[in-house]
Amino acid sequence: MRQRRAHPAFAVFWWLVLLFLYLPLAVVVLFSFNAINSAATFAGFSLRWYVSLFSNDAVIHAFYNSMVLALSSSVIALVLGTFLGYGLYRHRGRRMGWLIVLIYLPIVMPDVVFGISDMTFFVRLNSMFGILKPGMLTMIISHVTFELPFVALLIYARFVNLDAALFDASKDLYAGPIKRALYFVIPAIKPALVAGFFLAFTLSFDDFVISFFTSGPESATLPIYIWGAIRRGISPDINAIGSLMIAAVLVAALISLIFTLKSRKREGNLN
């Protein structure tokens, strides 16, 4: 395809938009190194807010909760979502209207309504039967619910891109279902499994609204802690936590970039 040329004004606009996108993040990072407790004036470089994070039990506990929640919910979502994606693929000839509605429901439902529905439901169950007290367990359940469709759609997309003849070939080799899964299906969709896990993990780690409504007093995650700290007006250490979370995202972005460029190169070599 012929290369298009854009007017130089587009380049100027591009850099302005990048400034708009990164300025709020840059401010958080900058003030995390502030020597004084101020969000308006920068009074010299200091690491005091980072140091104070490591002695802050509430922050460490919130980080631990975030990790437990993200890990356990994304493992469950990965297992359920893989089966769902596989089922959707093998039965894609059927009309599965209701199933499709079910899969899209967690994606389109406003997260406030999602969180409140689950919260009222769990509170009700708890008062009636004494089960599902709001806390880590209820958060994990809700997180699996919103991660599941994303994982399933990723796995489904991977299956669609596979050559369908491979399935028949593996059957022709008289492999049993377990062997087929272990030696054929799982290796074939491995990239999607990895991507699905990381997507679910990120969605969970990042989520605030649904966690906020389904959490209990002991199960605050990092975003909930930050929210509370903003609400109480205690802000200096928020910048430090925020900067660490931004750094984690940048590392993830770098890794995904390297993977994309690598796989492009591989495709380029094949052609």
Q: How far is the CB of 116 from another protein (least distance, A)?
A: 5
Q: How far is the CB of 131 from another protein (least distance, A)?
A: 13
Q: Interaction with another protein in 5-24: which residues (CB under 8 A)?
A: 5-6, 10-11, 13-14, 17-18, 20-24
Q: In this complex, which beta carbon is closest to another protein, that of residue 110 or of residue 217?
A: 110
Q: What is the DSSP letter of 251?
A: H
Q: In this complex, which beta carbon is closest to another protein, that of residue 175 or of residue 209?
A: 209
HEC sequence for 120-171: HHHHHHHHHHCCCCCCHHHHHHHHHHHHHHHHHHHHHHHHHHCCCHHHHHHH
When binding is defined by CB under 8 A, the residue of 70, 78, 238, 240 that contacts another protein is: 238
SS3 helix, strand, coil % of the chain, rounded to 5? 80, 0, 20
- Other C-beta atoms within 10 Å of 151: how many? 28
Q: Is 153 in the site for another protein (CB under 8 A)?
A: no
When binding is defined by CB under 8 A, the residue of 169, 186, 253, 255 that contacts another protein is: 253
Q: In this complex, which beta carbon is closest to another protein, that of residue 30 or of residue 60?
A: 30
User: Does residue 234 come out as left (phi exceeding 0), alpha (psi in the -120 to 50 range) or beta?
Assistant: beta
User: How far apart are alpha carbons 167 and 259 in whole angstroms?
Assistant: 27
HSE of 68, CA atoms in CB hemisphere, 13 A: 17
Q: How far is the CB of 213 from another protein (least distance, A)?
A: 7
User: How far apart are alpha carbons 168 and 241 in whole angstroms?
Assistant: 52
HSE of 166, CA atoms in CB hemisphere, 13 A: 16
Q: In this complex, which beta carbon is closest to another protein, that of residue 68 or of residue 246?
A: 246
Q: Is 202 in the site for another protein (CB under 8 A)?
A: yes
Q: Please give the single-letter amino acid code of residue 237.
A: D
Q: Give, in degrees to the nearest 5, the angle at Cα 132 between 137 and 193.
A: 35
Q: Interaction with another protein in 66-125: which residues (CB under 8 A)?
A: 80-81, 83-84, 86-88, 90-94, 96, 99, 102-114, 116-122, 124
Stretch that binds another protein, among 48-56, 57-65, 140-148, 184-192 (CB under 8 A): 140-148
Q: In this complex, which beta carbon is closest to another protein, that of residue 49 or of residue 86?
A: 86
Q: Using CB under 8 A as the criterion, what x/- string covers residues 34-73 for binding another protein?
A: -----xx---------------------------------
